[in-house]
Amino acid sequence: MAMVNNQTLCFTCNKEKITYSCEGCSQRFCFTDLAEHKQILNDELNHIINDYDQFKQTINEQKRNPQNHSLIEQINQWETNSVAMIQQKAKECRESVIKSSQTFINDIEMKFNDLSEQIQLLHKENDFNEINLNYLTNQLKKITEELNDPSKISIKHGSHSFINEISIISLIKPKFNKWIQNAITVAGGEGKGQQLNQLNSPYGIFIDKKKNIFIADCYNNRIVEWKFNAKEGQIIAGGNGQGSRMDQLDRPTDVIVDQQNHSIIIADYGNRRVIQWLNQKQQVLIDNIDCVGLAMDKNRFLYVSDVVKNEVRRWKMGEYNNEGILVAGGYGKGNQLNQLNCPTYIFVDEDQSIYVTDRDNDRVMKWRKGAKEGTVVAGGNGHGENPIELYLPQGLIVDDLGQIYVADNNNHRIMRWCEGKKEGEVVVGGISKGNQLNQLNYPTRLSFDDKGNLYIADYFNHRIEKFEIVL
């Protein structure tokens, strides 16, 4: 009986041998060539892994050093060339001014010397009258006016720039985050009360890096910390009844955590003070101030809003024995660009620009560092519920793209405004006031965690809501 021939041609050596199929390329290989084929595939995989690692390294490098972008070098070169052109033009203009000025002065000096000779001659001969004196006086007046005439030499501003202006055209559209519209209650939500699982009109909130929530539990006169995923909070400041003792609070409206020393800084509104709690020890930082909102910048400067003086002031940490530095408002109550009307919450960006919710003007103002007046970056069209309007806004925060998020208090919604746009958009809430998970009831403060989840102090629902970001 003849043996069954199960040999086929090998794809590589082209000899009849017992072969094995490769599922990837569907070719058949002998045992030896199959091992070599797998080695080739393995080498290709290693090559892909190497390319992947290099690409990942490139991404990380660009994230760490955004200044290394190729366009930045072109911008730097444009700046260098433009500065050189300006300097050259300024040098030529200075030389022209000096030359023209010298010629002009020489001419005036000649006229003055001639007049001086006439005076000396009259004085020497002692032969003059009122006509001569009037003439000399008028001539001196004339050359004095000529000397002081600013129109003799002036700067002419051209209608066209001699520098080629540049601008950036980006086809990369920013990603606008979205959030699941049904929130998760992460603190309170058990009705108004003073138990550890309850809140009473929460105003300010602060989220730390561990997603712990610090709450200004206003009408419980306390600051409560809710650990991540905790079922109840713990009192870390106040909670000893409403009062003005050092261990008491009176309607606190905001709280921030100084990450350097882990102290709690509180806007103790009813006591008109900003107070610090550190390991159950208290220290009044700022007194006699009608404070509502607090913020701290990257340099640990403390910013406080004053709703009576209609201003925001800044203090350097540890130096509170002064009036601070005025950084926004301070020109009385009003709706002009240098005025505020009941400023509540504030946000400070990396450039120390200050964003203020100008509550009773129904707008958000931005004051650049050192500016004497602000610009309207949200609202400012009277109160209402249209996309161009806000209604007594409260808390705000600005993301890395410069998008402004506002707790539109009386509209029961959170709005997002892109600076320069005429109107905003609703990101959560706005479905009338209520206590459902997609509703808000006079939201006051808002914050993001490091994942972009949105937290809101839902004032009259006595709860803190977390809206999870859509990934």
Q: Which two tokens stand for residue 138?
A: 């008028």
Q: In this predicted structure, what is the pLDDT of residue 121?
A: 78
What is the tens place of the pLDDT at every residue in 308-339? Answer: 999 999 999 888 888 999 999 999 999 999 99
> Rounded distance, CA 353 to CA 371, Å?
9
Q: Looking at residue 130, what is its pLDDT?
A: 76
User: According to the model, what pLDDT value does residue 413 have?
Assistant: 97
**What's the confidence (pLDDT) of residue 1?**
44
Mean pLDDT, each 10-residue run in order, the chain (471 residues): 68 88 87 89 90 84 77 85 85 82 80 80 75 79 77 72 72 79 96 96 95 97 96 96 97 94 95 94 96 94 97 91 93 96 96 96 96 95 95 94 94 92 93 94 96 96 96 79
Contacts of 463 (CB under 8 A, 6+ apart): 185, 187, 188, 189, 199, 202
Spatial neighbors of 376 by CB under 8 A, at least 6 apart, are 337, 363, 364, 365
What does the buried/exposed string (b/e) look like for 407-433 if buried means 16 or more CB atoms within 10 Å of the residue's CB? bbbbbbbbbbbbeeeeebeebbbbeeb
Length of the chain: 471
| Homologous superfamily assigned to 179-470 | TolB, C-terminal domain (2.120.10.30)
What is the distance of C-alpha 207 from the center of its chain?
Answer: 18
Pick the closest to residue 250 from 281, 212, 290, 214 (CA basis): 290
Instruction: Provide the 10 A C-beta neighbour count for residue 218.
Output: 24
Look up the pTM and report it. Answer: 0.69
Q: Phi, psi at residue 445, to the nearest 5°?
A: -125, 155
- CB burial of 116-127 (b: ≥16 within 10 Å; e: otherwise) equals eeeeeebeeeee
Sheet holding 325-329, edge to edge: 291-296, 301-306, 311-316, 325-329
Name the strands in the sheet holding 454-458, side by side, starting at the edge strand that comes first in the sequence.
184-188, 463-467, 454-458, 443-448
Question: Which pLDDT belongs to residue 5?
Answer: 63
CB 284 within 8 A of CB 235: no
Q: CA 63 → CA 60, 66, 76, 365, 395, distances in Å? A: 5, 6, 19, 31, 31
* Residue whose entry in the numeric block shows the structure tokens 């129109």: 151
Domain boundaries of the chain, sorted by first residue: 93-170, 179-470
Residue 172: predicted pLDDT: 63
Between CA 388 and CA 396, with CA 394 as vertex, the angle to 5 degrees is: 80
List residues bridging with 376 in a β-sheet: 365
Q: Is the dihedral of CA 239, 241, 243, 246 positive or negative?
A: negative
pLDDT at 144 (0 to 100) = 82
Report strand pairing: 396-398 vs 375-379: unpaired
Give the tens place of pLDDT for each residue, 407-466.
999 999 999 998 888 899 999 999 899 999 999 999 999 999 999 999 999 999 999 999
Please give the structure tokens belonging to residue 46.
Answer: 């290693």
Which of left, alpha, beta for 402 (phi over 0: left; psi -120 to 50: alpha)?
A: left
259 dihedral zone (left: phi>0; alpha: psi -120 to 50; beta): alpha
- Measured CA to CA, the distance from residue 311 to residue 307 in angstroms comes to 7
Which amino acid does the sequence have at 225? E
- Interhelix angle 70-125/130-147, nearest 10 degrees: 170
CB 467 within 8 A of CB 183: yes
**Which residues are 403's β-sheet partners?**
418
